[in-house]
Amino acid sequence: MLKGVVIPANLPPQYVAAEQNLKKAKDPEEKIAILEEMWALLPKHKGTDKIQADIKRRLSKLKKDAEKKGKGKKGFSMRVERMGAGQVAVIGPPNSGKSSLVSLLTNAEPKVAPYPFTTAMPYPAMMPYLDIQVQLVDLPPIAPGHLPFWVVNIVRNADAEVFVIDASAEDCLDRMEEVVSELDRRMIGLAGGEGRRDAPAGYLDKRVLLVSNRMDCDNAPANLDIISEFYADRFDVFPFSCAALDEGEVEKLRKAIFDLLGVIRVYSKQPGSKPDMGSPFTVRACSTILDFAAHVHKDFAKDLKQARVWGSARFDGQAVSRDHVLRDADIVELSL
């Protein structure tokens, strides 16, 4: 129990379990990750105001202390700073080919080996797509009894998940169920972001792309049919093979991951100048002119006088209203 705080009776059991882990934790990074997990699991209402304040206070102190001690030091961290257009956690059972996939998509070199649990730490790498970068985080495999608290924290905080399975494994469906069940017990749902109607407080559904790997193996197509029968209504399934090295399929997968993020690229243009096509802004899909203006600078939305759009407007350079909905690759000129 957090010091000086009376715990309400309606806290989920996952929160109570995380609190017990906090008592055993000694490393500051570990404590930060557990407190962040507790924050995510904590129901937000008046009855938990004191708990919320206490968690915020302890997190703030731990992060400040870690920052002071960490200056000039390099090493493993259980936290992965978000970079690029979005952060995608790469999850899956042992030996599903996660690290090979990350290597293929990013040209990074995570450790790849033909034995389970090769990945022991988070491995972030940047995936190029068109003129942006998406951060992929290769995580340790998920299996019964093998789900570190910091993996849960990264999965929960990521913008989306790529769920990699080995379609050639005879027990691939059982392994999928193990991953889904382990995360479900930690209040994380892999349901394509649709959400459960009966979800308890603190439960979080994530956007998921299921990559059915090793489709070059003879038995993989039959297994994929079984997987699709069970999961097609929950996941978008992308058949793939890291061994095939088909650049066209690699680029299609990059696009599918980008689409998973639910963002669009918007290019800025200053009045009287050419648009800056080298570094687009990324904003949520269905964002309006006003949303984009606030994303560029908080004062732009307040002082905006006029906006012109090239792309989704009826004609290039058309003056549009503040509630005009933008599309991917639009060019926007804001006048203050």
Same domain, 195 and 321: no
Same domain, 255 and 269: no
Same domain, 52 and 65: yes
pLDDT in tens, 273-297: 998 888 899 999 999 999 999 998 8
Same domain, 39 and 159: no
pLDDT in tens, 293-323: 999 888 788 888 889 999 998 999 999 999 9
At 81 the pLDDT is: 86
**What confidence tier does 75 reach under pLDDT thresholds 50, 70, 90?**
very low
Residues 6+ apart with CB under 8 A from 96: 141, 164, 165, 166, 175, 213
Q: How many domains does the chain have?
A: 3
Retrieve residue 260's tokens.
Answer: 């998973």
At 239 the pLDDT is: 94
Checking if the pLDDT of 142 tops 70, the result is yes
What does the DSSP 8-state code read for residue 200?
A: P
Report the first-to-last Cα separation within the chain, whole angstroms: 52
The CA-based dihedral angle spanning residues 93, 97, 100, 106, taken in that order and rounded to the nearest 10 degrees: -60
What does the DSSP 8-state code read for residue 242?
A: T
Distance of alpha carbon 292 from the chain centroid = 22
Same domain, 229 and 307: no
Same domain, 318 and 190: no
Checking if the pLDDT of 159 tops 70, the result is yes
CATH of the domain at 133: 3.40.50.300
Same domain, 293 and 192: no
Same domain, 270 and 246: no
Same domain, 66 and 128: no
Q: Do the domain assignments include residue 146?
A: yes
CB 126 within 8 A of CB 135: yes
Checking if the pLDDT of 4 tops 80, the result is no
Checking if the pLDDT of 76 tops 60, the result is no
Helix (H) or strand (E) holding 226: helix 220-231
Residue of 132, 170, 130, 166 lying closest to 280 (CA atoms): 132
Same domain, 167 and 199: yes
0.85 surpassed by pTM: no
* For range 153-166, the mean pLDDT: 93
Q: Which residue segment(s) compose the domain that 330 sits in?
A: 263-335
Per the listing, tokens 């090493």 go with 75
